[in-house]
Structure 1
Amino acid sequence: MARGRGRRLGWKALALSLGCWVPGCASTGEDGPTVLLETRACAGTPVLQGVRYLRWRVTGPDLEPQVVFTPVEEGAAGAPSLAGGGRTLEVRGYTELPRAGGRVVALGRADTVARTSGDGAAVRIVLRRVGEYAPPVDAQGKCLSLGTARAAHTATLLEDGRVLLAGGFALDKDGRSTPLGVVQVLDPAGGTLRALPALNPARAFHTATRLSGGQVMLVGGETQTEDGPLPLRVAEVLDETGQASSRVEWARERSRHVAVVDSGGRVLVLGGVGADGAVVAEAEGYDSASGRLFPVATPVPRVGMAAYLLGDGQRIAVVGGSDGLELQPEVLVLAYQEDGFAPVAGGGVLREPRRDGALAAFGPSGRLVYVGGSSAPGETQTDSVLASSEFVFASEEPTAGATPQVFARSEPCAVTLLDGRVVVLGGRGFGPGGLVSDAHAELLVPGGAGEASGLLGMPNLTLSRYQHTCTVLRDGAVLVAGGVTDDGGERATLGDLFVYTPPPLD
């Protein structure tokens, strides 16, 4: 390929020529969906700064991967055909051609659905700088934010790639918390943040579970009364428009619990704190297809635990936590059998019991990694924060093996990227005055055959935080929203939104 066709443009001119508010940002769509390439940034490094070439890679069923390099000046006009349906398109911005030592500095991905060519469909790709935290951008090029600062809310990825943000609490200037009913839907690709009808009652420390048909069930949590926090038993089920389509009355009120849905649409709710401040032992289930609530015979008296749906879509691993007096080392595995959830084989015992750690799938083998946390059965103490991680599950046997040391912190968030790596962000660590919010960010990398797993440092968060949310978007980037920042003196809730795009493996 000839190097640089025609006049080379500066990054400011390129941003204008490729931004999707003017002609020239889209392919024609004659051989499939039109490609829209979005390159706007409202903060940080301009997306196209230093970019000379775009690499386009198309994959799909019964298709050999197609890779094309084009000069950046061509924009989306250089995109290969997406005809045939079911295609995935990745775009990378290179400083030079790879054979000349070029580096990847920008990345974007999009999935298409099965379509016939020439139907006028469009595929939007948001190109972002890799290794940087960048706020989502609206149609006017302005940074999007939550508007209302919050923590202990939920962020749920919807089937169409939007994110439903619900509830949480806000701190006033005196440090008092107020539960929030605010609900918003963020479209990271389209650059919109739309308010939806408020929750009733307002709640924080609840769970959000995505059901079929675009519904999201918000279970439990706590609201505020004159007598203090009040755990809830009423769940709200929001449809894809954000309207409350139904309410479900659970048997027990609970807050700070976990909820997981299996592939059959059955929701398992475990543990948490009840109205009397005691740990809830009773587990409950809900069949979203029939609307049936059912008890679970196995008690799980835990708070500060984590739960994860395993790769078969049937078994749910419950890891860590405390009954309020002692840490629980046993890893439980439950699955739906006959008319309820029951324990099944697998699990094992934690080598280092903990609560308030983060649990994520790690690599292609089905392992889970449990990161950070606290060794105290009750309130986290400065000397109880853990700097370790642990493999807790692989196939049907517990896994041993070296796992990366991490920065000591509890309540981090950990999410699994599309390639099996795990991003760990924020949490609570120790500072000169005791426990403070943490700004560290780490990337856990699975090892190859016979190789140890690795840990890569990432840029620290701009603001330290805990009780925030981390959500992997459909394009593989990570959305971070809100949380509490605490320097050991003042505490404040955050209203920011930003997206982190990890560098690719290859």
Structure 2
Amino acid sequence: MAELRDVACDGTPVLDGVRYLRLRVTGEGMEPIEHYAAVDGGITMLQPLSIPFGRGRMLEVRGYTDLPRSGGRVVSLGRSRPFDVPVQLGASSRIAVPFLRVGEYVRPGFSADSCVSLASPRAAHTATLLEDGRVLLAGGFQTGSGGANTTVASAEIFDPVTGTVEPLPSLETRRAFHTATRLPGGKVLLAGGEVASVEGSLPVRSAQVLDVAQATSTGVELKVARSQHAAAVDSSGRVLLVGGVGVGSAVVSEAEGFDSATGQVFSVSTPVSRVGMAAMPVQDGRRIAVVGGSDGTSLRPEVLFFAHEGGSFVPVGEGARLREPRRDGALVPFGGPEQLLYLGGHDSPRNVDEARFLASSELVSSGVPPQVSAGPQVFARSGLCAVALPDGRVMTLGGVRYSSGVLASDSHVELLVPGEEGAAPGLLGLMPLEQPRQQHTCTVLDNGAVLIAGGLNDTGSQRKTLGDLVLYTPVPLD
């Protein structure tokens, strides 16, 4: 039995205008099966078709204004978490499906009196999708009434199925501008970052491996203190950490790795002296790409690829260069496992207040040889948040730009659609965020929604750390 859960406390009622629900089951080794059901009042329980045994089953429920063959459109959407069926799934089994309106920003919660927000307002934090579908939100900073930042050590879990937030024990070290990398087995490596002090921002040398499921934490000492760096994990659970800001605000050149199987940190002999770059696995995790950034003096156009060989990460596949060097852009998969999209950012090697914001993007291919080509135009801004949706589209949200001559948080949201059969990608502007924000997080959930958490709303004259949680479900392509 499918249990529809309306997890939004505001916005249009999830079944408003819905006449039919489509239930569709997909999974490994099975042909998709689907069934339409007429909506009867405030229905929340649905009898799905029998689901054959097997792995990776998923139940999707769509709310239509009419049958699709009669021109009905999708106005509500929900997906279950992937589940395994050891035997034929019977009517007594219950599958929870968080159900939301598409194309609307809503807050989680089950009524207008029970909207859910972060336990601690935070910006420059991390958000990590865990194996069980929940989201770990950790660290960050808060801006006080006097404008000074305070680094936080709090962490919390958002559960998209129940629409609730649960606080976790505090981190061992306060940190903001750190990285969070999900490891095989569901653990999370929180690495580096910085802490605000009377002496200014001090980089952090420690890391922490969190096992939320087992409620354990293990401390790790990095080789170098670093903040505002980049990290990515390969298919074997080895994490590459590169660049960032170190002691004395110097750009860190020493790279290092972390092996999740042994819990050990290891040296990487190839220096990567960059800040404002991004890193991401490609080729199903066999390689890690490092794109963009500045060495503090000049922008670096070289696209670097690393693979783990002989006990460390080594450079491979050299030769690709950005057509328009930049820093503080967003890097996301786009159009396949070998291609990334690097978009936005700015053209100053140092301060953003000296910069020209870029409205371009570049496609980075990790093939042999690696290549860089022009991507679609985007709205010019830096520090934007971008996520790759399961259907291949990319959603961009917020960032920083000039507004009335001053640097301010941005509210623009875009949807980029890969081109089919060699056609150019498309760009669709979406409804802007209700609150402009930068240094926020955006996370794609198992149910297809994007979770937008916290951030900084800086108008140029006032700065406010946000503590809200916002959900947005894009309209499906098909």
TM-score category, normalised to shorter length = over 0.9
Shift of the alpha carbon at 1:258?
0.8
- 1:77 alignment partner AA: L
How far residue 138 of structure 1 moved from its aligned partner, in angstroms, is 4.9
Which residues of structure 1 form unaligned runs of 5+? 1-26, 28-34
SS of the residue aligned with 1:137? coil
Give the C-alpha shift of residue 242 in structure 1. 7.4
Q: How big is the shift at 1:217?
A: 1.1
The CA deviation at 1:101 is: 1.1
Going from structure 1 to structure 2, the CA distance change for 1:358 and 1:69 (only over 3 Å counts) comes to same
AA paired with 1:330? E
- 1:48-63 mapped onto 2 (5 Å cutoff): 48-63=15-30
Q: 2:205 aligns with which of 233, 248, 265?
A: 233
Residue 144 of structure 2, aligned match among 169, 172, 182? 172
Q: Name the CA distance, whole Å, in 1 between partners of 2:429 and 2:6.
A: 26
Say if 1:244 and 1:326 are closer, same or farther in 2 by CA, change over 3 A. farther
Map 1:86-101; keep pairs closer than 5 Å. Answer: 86=55, 87-101=57-71
Deviation of 1:204 after TM superposition, in Å, equals: 0.5
CA separation of 1:340/1:394 partners in 2, compared to 1, >3 Å: closer, same or farther?
A: closer
Structure 2: segments with no counterpart, 5+ residues: none
Indicate conservation of the 8 Å contact 1:468/1:481, yes or no: yes
CA deviation after TM superposition for structure 1 residue 68, in Å? 1.4
The SS at the match of 1:70 is strand
Shift of 1:308: 0.6
Partner in structure 2 of residue 5 of structure 1 = none
> Is the Cα–Cα contact under 8 Å of residues 322 and 372 in structure 2 kept in the other structure?
no
Match for residue 218 of structure 1? 190
Query: Alpha-carbon deviation of 1:76?
Result: 3.3
Deviating more after overlay: 398-407 vs 178-187? 398-407
Report the equivalent of 1:369. 341
In the comparison of the two structures, how many residue pairs are matched? 473
Partner letter of residue 115 of structure 1? P
Which residue of the other structure, out of 311, 329, 341, is the alignment partner of 2:283? 311
Report whether the alignment pairs 1:505 with 2:477.
yes
Q: How many angstroms does 1:225 deviate by?
A: 2.3
1:129 aligns with 2:98: no
Partners of 1:323 and 1:398 lie apart in 2 by 22
> Per the alignment, in what secondary structure is the counterpart of residue 276 of structure 1?
helix
Partner of 2:332, secondary structure, is strand
Partner of 2:86: 115
- Deviation, 1:382, is 6.2
Q: What is the TM-score with the length of structure 1 in the denominator?
A: 0.90
Return the alpha-carbon distance in structure 2 between the equivalents of residues 343 and 171 of structure 1: 40
Q: Which residue in 1 is equivalent to 2:457?
A: 485
**SS of 1:252's equivalent?**
coil
Q: Give the secondary structure class of the aligned counterpart of 1:312.
A: helix
The residue identity in structure 2 corresponding to 1:50 is G
Name the amino acid aligned to 1:54. Answer: L
Relative distance call for 1:118 and 1:100 in structure 2 (3 A) is closer
Match for residue 413 of structure 2?
441
The one-letter amino acid of 2:86's match is R
Instruction: Give the whole-Å Cα distance in 2 for the aligned partners of 1:306 and 1:40.
Output: 33
Worse-superposed segment, 439-448 or 256-265: 256-265
What are the superposed Cα offsets for residues 357-396 of structure 1, whole Å, 9 maximum, x if unpaired?
Answer: 0000012363111110010000113651111111122423
C-alpha displacement at 1:80, in angstroms? Answer: 1.8
Equivalent residue of 1:349, what SS?
Answer: coil
Per-residue CA shift, 1:310-334, capped at 9, x if unaligned?
1321100000000000000000000
Separation in structure 1 between the aligned mates of residue 112 and residue 445 of structure 2, nearest angstrom:
22
What SS does structure 1 have at the residue aligned with 2:185? helix
Specify which of 102, 106, 110 is matched with residue 76 of structure 2.
106
- Does the 8 A contact of 2:283 with 2:366 survive in 1? no
RMSD: 1.7
- Give the residue type in structure 1 aligned to 2:269: A
Distance 2:462 2:262 in 1: 48
How high is the sequence identity, in percent, across the aligned residues?
Answer: 54
Q: What does 1:3-402 correspond to in 2, within 5 Å?
A: 27=1, 35-73=2-40, 75-86=44-55, 87-110=57-80, 111-117=82-88, 121-138=93-110, 142-241=114-213, 243-346=215-318, 348-364=320-336, 366-381=338-353, 383-399=355-371, 401-402=373-374
Matches of 2:336 and 2:371 in 1, distance apart? 14
Quote how far apart the aligned CAs of 1:347 are.
5.7
Which amino acid is the alignment partner of residue 404 of structure 2? Answer: P
**Distance between the aligned counterparts of 2:113 and 2:338, measured in 1?**
41
Structure 1: how far apart are the matches of 2:275 and 2:443? 22
TM-fit CA distance, 1:183: 0.6
Equivalent pair of 1:327/1:353 in contact (CA under 8 Å): yes
CA deviation vs aligned residue, 1:12-51 (integer Å, no higher than 9, x gap): xxxxxxxxxxxxxxx2xxxxxxx21112531111111111
